[in-house]
Structure 1
Amino acid sequence: MTKGQWIGLMAGASALVPAGGAAAATAERSVFGEMPDGEVVEAVTLSGENGVSVRVITLGATIQSFNAPGRDGAIADITIGYDTVEDYLERPNYWGQTIGRYANRVAGARFSLDGKTYQVSQNDGENSLHGGAEGFDKRNWTLESVADGERASAVFTLRSPDGDQGYPGNLDVRVVYSLDEHGALTIDFSATTDAPTVVNLTNHALFNLGGNGWPYGTYDQRLTIPASRYTPVDGGLIPTGELRTVEGTVFDFRAGRMLHDGIRQAQDEQIMLGRGWDHNWVLDKGRTAQPELAARVEHDGSGRVLEVLTTEPGVQFYSGNFIDGTLTGKDGVLYRMGDGIALEPQMFPDTPNQPTFGSARLDPGETYLHTMIYRVSSKN
């Protein structure tokens, strides 16, 4: 869609407000920028009555900002990212994007289905990471609709053709972002295929509850993960297949742990391999029909709290180890190691090659479903 076509579309659009009065949450559609070919990159801002607002752009179906109040009512943007389309294109990173077809790593960038081996995009040494070199994070999705209401929402869609990044089957993907008036952003992923394939979708927002540019990074924040096991990795950050206990290690977040506590513990080989935490935790809840708690982050300085809920069995905690101070993001902030953390609900990394982890297979006639929630609040 060109900018002129977008303006024409908006001229005929009307707000969707439920009967009986003003909406509790609103959705506002706008232009964020343009792709090099002139295609419009749209934005939708979802706003609740409690001061929480989230802007999502069509490029990557990306959370570009996430504003939340602290205990004193002060609003801060708690995600890292960029201010312009050009920055997202020229200095790509996984900062708020929708990730697919397969989130996380696939060993050797290959897997087998029904006796056939598929070679997919190699973009992490010999492995594939987050769907490959041209994953879903780099596509300009279609913003199908927006709506106000008790939950303001925006619907994004994408067609991934057969052979895309080496993956089989035409895959039709739908992502719905919805925000309620209580500060909960729900993300509903769904996908269908016309041939057997593998699917693992998530969001890759990096959070800092102190706010974008908080001088202490995330190290003054406390993380809880209700998981008694995690999946240790090899030198390529591929799971070894072991489900290892967290007991007695710096991977034990069950009772809450400050993020400065253990991130530089070189005595733990896994910390050395990941340059910090960059691992999958095996959630005690397993896969569930409804979203349950996967992680909780608390920041005493601002009072902000973030809870991550999911239907999936794992969560990847990445402590921002590879952010090296060479990239300038929103509001001219120079991002450094630990300036944001990712909590990515998911199937386990490399599941297509490790049957003991379960199955990421999707067949024709089935629908892939994953619901996750980012829920923010504040405490005294």
Structure 2
Amino acid sequence: MDSYTLDSGHGLAVTVWTYGATLVEVLVPDRNGTTGNVVARLPDLASYEDPAVNAYVGATVGRYCRCVADGRFTLDGVEHRLDRNDGRHHVHGGPLGFDRFVWDAEATQTDELLTLCLRLDSPDGDQGYPGALQAEARYEVDRHGRLTFDFRATTTAATIVGFTNHAFWNLSGTAGRTIDDHRLAINSDRTVAFDADLVPLAGPPRDIAGTDLDHRAPKPLGARPLDNFFVLDDPSWAAELSHRASGRTMRVRTDQPGIGVYSGDHYRQPRAGICLETGPWPDAPNRPDFPSVRLDPGRTYHHRTIHEFSNAGVDRA
């Protein structure tokens, strides 16, 4: 396992491990210029390797993030059965998903951009998925305070693909603090409704305008639990997380159709961070009414999400 640090020299520094293509540390200054880590991290590699401890902390999740109901889907008339790891369901790529492997890595640098490109080959039949998949996760850091996740994949046979990053964000920059004093805005007026297993219910997304889930204007998190999937229609922005005491703000933009928001209530340290997982809709392989997650040979899967950090009173020029 190798560790890489991408230091912009302008306040933002990011550490990534090749194990799970995992985001381990994101150092961002507060309004006074004091640097703190704004993602949850585990104490050592053994903790990341232990599935009883590691709830996908900072990992690149695939082949398919979120759930595939009953661990099966049909493609071109052929039923594919996936390895199940959440009762009768398949979640976050299965018991040996992309978060459990060491990826190959190559770092490059230009005057404007630091890039770590991680690659993983997933053979045909891996966790039950058809097609041999070549996966790529790029972390990009620029001098303007932006961290970008850029995911790509190609396949040898028709398959399904949907990656995300599973970081737990906490802008306080202080270990042990909860996210209860953060404010969250989400550019969405619809959610995908779930059953008790977090499998989408029949029918279209639900209108949440005027309800407790309406975060179109910034709203304090408090102690409210969130484990929801929000539909994104406007690519100009997806979410904004802010922490008044530190002055830190993180604005998220993506080309993806939705964002999963999880307040970490069942994490080993409850509410130590909040997940903002951009990517495909849950159980989309079984829902023709949802945005397609199909990938065919000769095509390239591409997912790009940008996290932009700002700090009141901190000059990042």
TM-score exceeds 0.5: yes
Which residue of the partner structure matches residue 7 of structure 1?
Answer: none
Alpha-carbon distance between aligned partners in 2 of 1:357 and 1:231, rounded to the nearest angstrom: 10
Q: Are residues 1:222 and 2:171 paired? A: no
Counterpart of 1:319 in structure 2: which amino acid? Answer: S
Equivalent residue for 2:201? Answer: 240
1:365 aligns with: 298
Q: Aligned-pair distance for 1:49?
A: 2.4
Structure 1: 5+ residue stretches without partners: 1-40, 264-275, 325-334
Indicate whether 1:109 and 2:71 are aligned. Answer: yes
Partners of 1:175 and 1:378 lie apart in 2 by: 27
User: What amino acid maps onto 2:253 in structure 1?
Assistant: L
The separation in 2 between residues aligned to 1:195 and 1:170, in whole angstroms, is 7
1:259 aligns with 2:221: yes
**Is residue 83 from structure 1 mapped to residue 43 from structure 2 by the alignment?**
yes
Correspondences of 1:315-354 after superposition (within 5 Å): 315-324=259-268, 335=269, 337-354=270-287
Letter of the 1:342 counterpart: C
CA displacement, residues 302-346 of structure 1 (integer Å, 9 cap, x when unaligned): 00001111100100001102114xxxxxxxxxx2x2110000101
The one-character-per-residue Cα deviations of 1:201-230 (angstroms, maximum 9, x if unpaired) are: 111111000124243x00101000010101
* C-alpha distance after superposition, 1:283-312 (max 9, x if no partner): 132xx5xxx311100100000001111100
2:253 equivalent in structure 1? 309
Write 1 or 2 for the structure with the bigger share of helix: 1
What is the CA distance between 1:97 and its match in structure 2? 0.6
The one-character-per-residue Cα deviations of 1:70-109 (angstroms, maximum 9, x if unpaired) are 1011100010112321111123321111010001111111
Query: Counterpart amino acid of 2:194?
Result: V
**Residue identity (%):** 40
Question: How much has 1:360 moved relative to structure 2?
Answer: 0.3
**Contact 1:94–1:204 (Cα < 8 Å) also in 2:** yes
| TM-score of the aligned structures, taking structure 2 as reference length | 0.95
Unaligned ranges ≥5, structure 2 = none
Partner of residue 33 from structure 2, selected from 58, 73, 77: 73
> Amino acid of the residue matched to residue 9 of structure 2?
E
What one-letter code is carried by the residue in structure 2 that aligns with 1:85? Answer: L
Give secondary structure in 1 for the equivalent of 2:188. coil
TM-score by length of 1: 0.79
CA distances 1:120-155 after superposition (whole Å, capped 9, x unpaired): 111111111100001001110001333353111111
Measured against aligned partners, the alpha-carbon deviations of 1:215-272 in whole angstroms (never above 9, x if no partner) come to 3x001010000101011100101111431111232110001111017x1xxxxxxxxx
Q: Secondary structure at the match of 1:352?
A: helix
Determine the C-alpha separation between the residues in 1 that align with 2:200 and 2:31. Answer: 40
Matched residue of 1:133: which SS? Answer: coil
State the distance in 1 between where 2:287 and 2:221 align: 30
Is the 1:123–1:129 Cα contact (8 Å) retained in structure 2?
yes
The separation in 2 between residues aligned to 1:297 and 1:358, in whole angstroms, is: 26
- Structure 2 residue 232 is the aligned partner of structure 1 residue 283: yes
Aligned length in residues: 310
In the alignment, the residues of structure 2 paired with residue 308 and residue 109 of structure 1 have an alpha-carbon distance, to the nearest angstrom, of 31
CA distance in 1, matches of 2:148, 2:38: 17
Equivalent residue letter for 1:368? Y
CA distance in 1, matches of 2:199, 2:105: 34
- Matching residue within 155, 160, 164 for 2:126: 164
Is 1:299–2:232 an aligned residue pair? Answer: no
Counterpart in the other structure of 1:94: 56
- Match status 1:190 vs 2:152: yes
2:170 is aligned to: 208
- Point out which structure has higher relative CO (alpha carbons under 8 A, 6+ apart): 2
CA contact 1:198–1:361 (8 Å) conserved in 2 = yes
- Structure 2 partner of 1:55: 15
Partner of 2:308: 375
Contact 1:208 1:214 (8 Å CA) reproduced: no
Does residue 250 of structure 1 match 2:206? no
Name the structure 2 match of 1:14.
none
Aligned residue among 55, 79, 92 for 1:130:
92
